[in-house]
Structure 1
Amino acid sequence: MKRNTLALRLSQALACAALLPAGVALAQVSTPDGAAAASGEPKQLDTVVVQGEIAYRNRSADIEPVLSYDLEYFQRFEPNTVGDMLKRVPGVTFVGSDIMEFDGAMMRGMAAGYTQVLINGKKVPGAGDDRSFWVDRIPAEMVDHIEILRSASANRSGDAMAGAINIVLRDSYQFDGSYLRVGVNRWFDGEVNPTFGAVSSGRALGGRLLAGINVQDRYRGKIKRSDRYTDPGKQELVSWEDQDEVKDGRDYSGNVSYTADIGESGRLDIDGFFVKTDRDVTEVSHEVEYDDGDVIESNVPGLNPIKQKNWGIGAGYRFDMAGGTTKFDLDFARFEDDSAESEEKHEYVNGEWDASEAEAEAVDARDTETGFRLAHLRPLGAAELEFGIDYRRKKRDVSYTTREWEAENEGDPVAYELDGTIGSLIEETRLDPYLMLSGRSGALSWETGLRYETTRSDVRYHEDGDVEGQARRDYNELLPSLHLKWDISEQTRVNLSLARTLKRPNFNELIPAVLDGEYGDNDYVGNPRLLPETANGIDLGFERRLGKHGVVGVNLFYRDVKNLIELVNTGEWSEDALDSYAKDLKKFLAANPGASEQDFAFDPESWLFTSANVGNGTVRGVEFDLATPLTALGLPDTGVFLNYSWLDSKVADFMGERRFNDQARSVYNVGFIHDMPSLAASFGATYRRQGDAYSRILSEEVTVRYGDDLELFVEKRFGRNLSVRLSAANLLDASKDEFFHKFDNLDDQLGRKYDEYELETEEAGPSYQLVMRWVF
């Protein structure tokens, strides 16, 4: 097994992690008409769970550009996860996710690592090598509302180049009551599985206490077809593959929140969470290859049992002091992954058995993150001053043990032998002071601040118990920000935001380990000396209230990115080139007695590449959203929803100019909900389309295309305590289609000399969900 397993798996190590935050922020909850819920009274769950009217986007009172959506905005279509919710908000795409799955959220179409995911305003551990956070493991039932933060502020971590998504969970201070959610899902292949959730909140232990549990049978069956040709002309079929894949498992999750007022001004918040994932991913593939008149058939069964645990605890306390308010927040979270993956291959040539082999890999991942924050807010003349310091320490320890097997005879039982253990240990420490001022002068509100982020990274790579490389890297960045909000009238406002942000290098890009054949025949080595990418960004937005509930907005954004991290050639030969040189030199000397090595001419076809900070790039786009009842047309019980984003970018790589990898050209959603009060019933539909996305790396170029997504629901309410909904997803049976251009090395890629051209498509069929909600 080649060492490039490390790169492939490190990027997936935390892919299923859903580390919810331990600390609870005192988030402001907005009502649909834009006024903050300032009464101090918690929401009554019967108005949230059994809805009597349509919910629209909230009109946030924040100075910085924020879009806010309550759970009720999404709830009619019964989303199971936060990923299901985010596919309906402006500017969020999903490229790389399997069909009907929504994991790595990408704002502005930029890769998931450019989007910061916050929970209750807190930074959370990343899910993957690129520091992204996979949102599809957070149950929708835990969520109070979702905020789309289009620009950065000094009191938030600055690694939000594309923007940030703040997932605000339900907490004891905001809700009162109890309810049950019970439902079943039916998939296109006839599989039926249940879902269950329960939430209860009320006064207890001198304060308010909320507890919630959620159990979801997570199932997804799909079929995949791959056809491989010698080149895009598709004149010669080289091989094809049919695959059936089933993801079958269960997610268990729970959260607890406790809030108590202490003294005249103090408030204590304590919360905890636990998430457990047990899942089996099974694949059965049948491959056929044509080689010089021979027909090579292979049966390839695979199994990937996933076993992961996430847990955390935290506390926050705020109190009045020295003429202002002081806040402390402490949080700790841990992720454990003890998953495995295995694949067998049984090969037959012209119907006769030829070979059987297998490989297996086990992952042992431990990721912990500890954070502490101290902040003080106080009046300063007509303005408000906030200053504080954030401390965060992350320890990411991932190891992989690989095993291999090869049969001597047909029918031999699989008996794995140890192949090796590889892994990395990354420790990152940050200490970030900040200062922020905000105020209002007539119709103009403003906020400005400075954040100074300091980072120390210690990286260690080990193989078979021996340390093969280690490095330390320190860097600091000053991040200014400015936000202006002009209230032209009570209904209309304009926002302008300027902010400097950054993106830290991917973990794999820092590891000083040589990976053989990582890009075709080319090798790769990490670069621990990388600096973060930085961007100066501008957002200009217009928003207008339509009647009592409606809102329409348009936003223009631009990012000027510096220190882009791209692949570069070190000028050193790859391992394959060195081996070829040694063999060819031996032949040359044998054929030319008296010649020396200096007489031998050799032209390597593959090289050693690394990552480096090179050049600049730009990202730009327009985002439009509309959510309003059709009251002006005499249809007050019909609500329409529309958002559209046009996305563009420019970057230079080893071949020339291209867009940012995996940036979809556009994404839009359109839908409606119609309520029938006399029947206590509702129905609606939503339609989503995402544009093609293209990526280019060394030796491979890929275009990804997703089909159109249509969802419907119908609902019946029984009094104020019970509702039943039937929802359907993927009614157009959308597919995910990928077009792969594969090459052996850079020269072949530049000369368009193909190793292989592949067309791959996958489908998962429609799904249906019946859910009952009961408030008591």
Structure 2
Amino acid sequence: MRKTRLARALAGLVLAPAVSLAAAQSATSVPATPATPDGAADALDTIVVRGEAVYRDRSDAPATLAYDLEYFQQFEPLTVGDMLKRVPSVAFLSDVLEYDGVRLRGLDPGYTQILINGERVPGGGFDRSFFVDRIPAELVERIEIVRSASADRSGDAIAGSLNIVLREGRSLDGGYLRFGALHYADGQTEPLLGAVWGGQALGGDLLVGVNTQGRRNPKDKYSRRYAAPGEALDNSEVQTDVRSGEDHAFNAAYDVELGPGRLGIDLFYVSTDRLQDEDSLEYIAGIENDANLSVVNDNDLDIRTDNWSASLEYDWAMAGGDTRVRLAWSGFDDRQFELEDEYEYRRDANPFPEDDRYTGDRTYTEIDDRELSLDLRHTRPVGEAQLRFGATYTRKSRETSITTDRNRITIPNAPTPRPTIPGTFGPYLPLPGGLNTIDETRIEPYVRLDGDAGAFEWEAGLRYQRTQTDIDDRTVAAPLRRSEQRHGELLPSAHLRWNLDGDQRINLSLARTMRRPGFDQITPALLLAELGDNDLLGNPDLRPETAWGLDLGWERRLGKRGVIGVNAFYRDVRDLIEIANTGVEGDEGPGTFVLQPRNAGDGQVWGVELDLSTPLTVFGMEHTGVFLNYSWLDSEIRDLFGTRRFNSQSGNVLNVGFVQSLPTPQMSFGVTYRRQGSAYGRIIGEEVRTSYGADLEAFVEKRFGEHWTVRLTGSNLLNASKDEVFDKFVTVQDQMDRSHDEFEIERETGGRVYQMVVRYEF
């Protein structure tokens, strides 16, 4: 008894920092029923939590961490972005309560490759990035963090890859219903509803899932602006930003034995309908009354986005090995309408503008992206090793249309807070660079050899990525309208695993990866006053960025279910794309310039990642699970103004927490705590320092019999803020001389969110 009390006291000391910080999660699930010998589907699992803590998986793939859905499930994440905020080295620069562009190892989303079922999908970003908050969490079977590249996957992954594995027909034998609601800080409530069924049907294994959920994010922003640091307050801005909408999703997977092999069909569709409503009031000298009201702004953005993918895959034995053919067709459709009405009032303390005036902008954005891919792969034994070779062909076509019109008139003695909207709009004309067709063809042969020798397992491979990009920009002069890019890169990779014993191992990975230029960087269009008062000219001659990367990690099992790991990484990035001064005078006259992206130099990225997930069985607390991951991140790059980190890279990311299961009353509860370090970004015309408040989440769950689970989750319980400090400049010389055009401090908050969810298993 004394030993037990001592063990629990020691465990309390271990848990105390986690609880005081407000700690992280784990999850629990129904243990899976083993598959039958003939390959029948597993029994329903990972659906209703049963009071057993679940921990991060120990993946056999090189340089890979795997997290199943049940790892995240108890905190009821809405989207993949909401799931990823709990894993090592993942940061976000999004607004409060938004998790869209993944910054793996703190780097820009374009450095991270997002895969669905191991394959690329088109994204809406000009840098080919994919917003992960488009995918509901309920569709996901597991998430894999691939720290270093292998030859049989695309090498567009300088920071690494995130592979989102969707549920398949063989993963379930049964189904469940999920329904509930989310309550937000502004008093509004949004519903959620989902259903999944998997089992044997139509002669094979079938899975069908549907999900619909209301989305809302009410935020408040407050800004203070000065002519320069240390000077008197020039004006303040009070802003509300409410983002509301709905997500609808469907996925299906079907596997069947056909002829000498197995046929797989996968369908995936997500539709997002969203309205972003921003309203703001600006006041002279921060005196917030009608007499000092200087600007009224109404900015609405209506978004409709559809992501979809369909694939056929056939595997069969051939020529002494296994052959796979995969054909995929995916698309991204984006429709946006932005409305911005701004009223400016002439005040004695602020004589600009010369008279009261109204400015209205209307912008239509249409993007249609289609991607066809064909992958042929053959795997066969070669002596004691295994050889895999093949090729991937990808054809992308992207149509972009961005048209706008501005209506500006003066209104002497306009009433406050706003007059009736005057004027008419049209015709709508394309923005520079906003009307184009992009065709991209990629051919990527690869070869990979795997083997093992006692305690050592190894992999070596080579991939060649050949890309041809053709842009037809219809907003520039005819001689410059068409531009072409052709480049090829050899991307070798190697992995070594040393199994020290049955519990611990060392992983070493070396790989060359790349990042292709963004579409907006290679268009020949000239964008006026894009960076401060400086113009920005695209550069069709840009080369891809490339990087040699090294990962060295140690991992150890802790008991039967725990695991701890430490990984150090380094990236040497070459041909960095940075903004350079062409020396040509800009459209705004003397002191301004035409700027252009160029392959201007090199940079380095490095860091250390710690990952711990374990029950406290050693302390006699087998129903208590703790979780911690911490990433220390750093980098160096040189630009026009000196050295800095890669733009907006957070210095660290911390997740910590616990889950406590109570088997007898069939209950569990837990807490997670997340903290992301501050970040700094610098481009020509603007510098921004961003810091983030801590994110605290908690849940409590009650199970009723074998089929029902009720779970209450609270998110953002500390009402975390995002704080930004902006230094703004007109010209390059002003930025060098620290002669400010404006200095701004902004704070954004979103409020607490409460979620009640009921699950029924059948």
Q: Does TM-score exceed 0.5, indicating one fold?
A: yes
Match of 1:568 in 2: 580
User: Paired residue for 2:70, among 72, 81, 84?
Assistant: 72
Distance 2:548 2:109 in 1: 19
Distance 1:90 1:34 in 2: 27
Supply the AA of the counterpart residue of 2:429: G
User: Paired residue for 1:240, among 209, 232, 236?
Assistant: 236
Q: CA deviation at 1:572?
A: 1.0
Shift in alpha-carbon separation, 1:38–1:756, aligned structure 2, 3 A: farther
- Any conservation in 1 of the 2:51–2:662 contact (CA below 8 Å)? no
Distance 2:421 2:148 in 1: 60
- Any conservation in 1 of the 2:216–2:242 contact (CA below 8 Å)? yes
Match of 2:371 in 1: 369
Distance 2:128 2:436 in 1: 15
Distance 1:86 1:739 in 2: 27
1:750 counterpart SS class: helix
- 1:648 to 2:643 alignment: no
How far does the alpha carbon of each residue in 1:227-279 deviate from its partner, in whole angstroms, 9 at most, with x for none? 1111122x31122111111111111110111110124x511001212222222
- 1:540 to 2:552 alignment: yes
Supply the AA of the counterpart residue of 2:160: G
How far does the alpha carbon of each residue in 1:558-581 deviate from its partner, in whole angstroms, 9 at most, with x for none? 01111111111111111122xxxx
- 1:283 to 2:285 alignment: no
Please, what is the CA RMSD of the aligned residues? 2.0
Superposed counterparts of 1:636-715, under 5 Å: 636-715=622-701
How far does the alpha carbon of each residue in 1:601-640 deviate from its partner, in whole angstroms, 9 at most, with x for none? xxx3111110111221110000000000000011000000
The percent of aligned pairs where both chains have the same amino acid is 49
User: Paired residue for 2:610, among 600, 621, 624?
Assistant: 624
- Any conservation in 2 of the 1:647–1:665 contact (CA below 8 Å)? yes
Q: CA deviation at 1:311?
A: 2.5
Superposed counterparts of 1:296-335, under 5 Å: 297-335=294-332
- Any conservation in 1 of the 2:32–2:44 contact (CA below 8 Å)? no
Q: CA deviation at 1:297?
A: 1.4
Match of 1:268 in 2: 263
Match of 2:405 in 1: 403
Match of 1:379 in 2: 381
User: Paired residue for 2:169, among 152, 167, 172?
Assistant: 172
Supply the AA of the counterpart residue of 1:652: R
Distance 1:467 1:769 in 2: 57
Q: CA deviation at 1:336?
A: 1.6
More deviation in 699-708 or 270-279?
270-279
* Structure 2 portions without partners, runs of 5+: 1-28, 349-353, 415-419
How far does the alpha carbon of each residue in 1:318-341 deviate from its partner, in whole angstroms, 9 at most, with x for none? 000000000000101122222200
- Any conservation in 1 of the 2:592–2:732 contact (CA below 8 Å)? yes
1:568 counterpart SS class: strand
- Any conservation in 1 of the 2:446–2:462 contact (CA below 8 Å)? yes
Match of 2:713 in 1: 727
Match of 1:92 in 2: 90
Q: CA deviation at 1:295?
A: 4.7
2:345 counterpart SS class: strand
1:201 counterpart SS class: strand
1:413 counterpart SS class: coil
Match of 1:431 in 2: 443
Distance 2:421 2:512 in 1: 61
- Any conservation in 1 of the 2:299–2:340 contact (CA below 8 Å)? yes
How far does the alpha carbon of each residue in 1:285-318 deviate from its partner, in whole angstroms, 9 at most, with x for none? 1112459xx9561211121111222223210000
- 1:134 to 2:131 alignment: yes
User: Paired residue for 1:461, among 473, 486, 493?
Assistant: 473
Distance 1:177 1:50 in 2: 15
- TM-score, structure 1 length as denominator? 0.89
Q: CA deviation at 1:463?
A: 2.4
Supply the AA of the counterpart residue of 1:125: P
Distance 2:754 2:473 in 1: 46
Distance 1:219 1:402 in 2: 28
- Any conservation in 1 of the 2:168–2:253 contact (CA below 8 Å)? yes
How far does the alpha carbon of each residue in 1:100-154 deviate from its partner, in whole angstroms, 9 at most, with x for none? 1111111111111000111100111133112211101100000000000000000
- 1:255 to 2:257 alignment: no
Shift in alpha-carbon separation, 1:220–1:685, aligned structure 2, 3 A: same
How far does the alpha carbon of each residue in 1:363-386 deviate from its partner, in whole angstroms, 9 at most, with x for none? 111111111000000000000000
Distance 1:743 1:53 in 2: 56
Distance 1:643 1:35 in 2: 30
Superposed counterparts of 1:174-193, under 5 Å: 174-193=171-190
Distance 1:455 1:611 in 2: 20
- Any conservation in 2 of the 1:268–1:316 contact (CA below 8 Å)? yes
Distance 1:525 1:499 in 2: 33
Q: CA deviation at 1:417?
A: 2.6
* Aligned positions, number: 714
- TM-score, structure 2 length as denominator? 0.91
Supply the AA of the counterpart residue of 1:283: E
Shift in alpha-carbon separation, 1:302–1:412, aligned structure 2, 3 A: closer
Match of 1:82 in 2: 80
Supply the AA of the counterpart residue of 1:331: A
Match of 1:360 in 2: 362
1:605 counterpart SS class: coil
Superposed counterparts of 1:45-56, under 5 Å: 45-56=44-55
- Any conservation in 1 of the 2:538–2:596 contact (CA below 8 Å)? yes
Distance 2:738 2:549 in 1: 37
- Any conservation in 1 of the 2:32–2:45 contact (CA below 8 Å)? no
Distance 2:421 2:124 in 1: 39
Match of 1:418 in 2: 427
Supply the AA of the counterpart residue of 1:90: P
* Structure 1 portions without partners, runs of 5+: 1-30, 578-603
Distance 2:521 2:500 in 1: 47
Match of 1:596 in 2: none
2:520 counterpart SS class: helix
Match of 1:24 in 2: none
